[in-house]
Amino acid sequence: MSAQLSPSQPLQPAHSVQQMPAGGWRGLVADWASDQAAFQVSWGKAMMWIFLLSDTFVFSCFLTGYMTVRMATPVQWPNPSEVFALHIGGADVPLILIAIMTFVLITSSGTMAMAVNFAYRRDRMRTAALMFATAAFGAMFVGMQAFEWTKLIVEEGVRPWGNPMGAAQFGSTFFMITGFHGLHVSAGVIYLLVVASRVLRGRYEQSGNYQIVEIAGLYWHFVDLVWVFIFALFYLW
């Protein structure tokens, strides 16, 4: 026997009926399927956060291992102020190259933040220009790091398995940590160039969704933040 609608109950259109989420395993699968947003953010941003979280664990293990090795070795650890000094004008200037590298990378964080700001204003010309500038700063950082490696390997004789200036573990920890970070910066430069080129060509103009710029910014700010810890623990300690 079919139910009768009373005159006091107006018939509601189908689109006004609120869809309740399904329960159980089917509801869980439905929440994570069909390209839906997870945690009230887009899939791209959620996956970038998960990637950065996993990378945080890796860098934390590297830095923790470095500190453990440095405190445990009975051989004297080389003095960073002497190892990373540059001979300028007849005098050794300690950590001058590292200070410039840090300044360049922190400056790139500022240009990336401005690029994200202009992206949400849908100003694709300024967004692309600032992303290209950020990539240029990143390339400068990698170039200076290559110069630093060349000086240590060719002039100082530092190797991953040995070090004439003190503890042998210095070379292995230095090349592993700075090399892994330099690889992240190099990948970030390529990533920024690709996204900036697409922004410049108007790839995201029709949809008006420039969130990819913010996602790239998350990665770049993470790389900058990791360098702050490397700078403090490796070069200043």
Report yes or no on 179 lying in a domain: yes
Report yes or no on 172 lying in a domain: yes
Q: Which residue intervals of 155-210 are DSSP H helices?
A: 169-200
Counted domains in the chain: 1
Task: Report the distance separating Cα 128 and Cα 39, nearest Å.
Answer: 29
For residue 155, give the H/E element and its range.
none
Quote the pLDDT of residue 36: 58
Report yes or no on 26 lying in a domain: no
Specify the CATH number for the domain of residue 169. Answer: 1.20.120.80
Report yes or no on 27 lying in a domain: no
Scanning the structure block, which residue is given the tokens 């070379």? 171
Report yes or no on 113 lying in a domain: yes
Check: pTM over 0.85? Answer yes or no: no
Task: Report the distance separating Cα 155 and Cα 64, nearest Å.
Answer: 29
Report yes or no on 35 lying in a domain: no
Domain limits at 86?
Answer: 40-235
Quote the pLDDT of residue 29: 72
> Could you list the pLDDT tens digit for every one of the 237 residues in the chain?
444 444 444 434 444 444 555 567 777 676 666 555 556 778 888 899 999 999 999 999 999 999 999 999 999 999 888 889 898 888 889 999 999 999 999 999 999 999 999 999 999 999 999 999 999 999 999 999 999 999 999 988 888 888 888 888 999 999 999 999 999 999 999 999 999 999 999 888 777 778 999 999 999 999 999 999 999 998 988
For residue 93, give the H/E element and its range.
strand 91-93
Q: CA nearest 147: which of 193, 89, 84, 105? A: 84
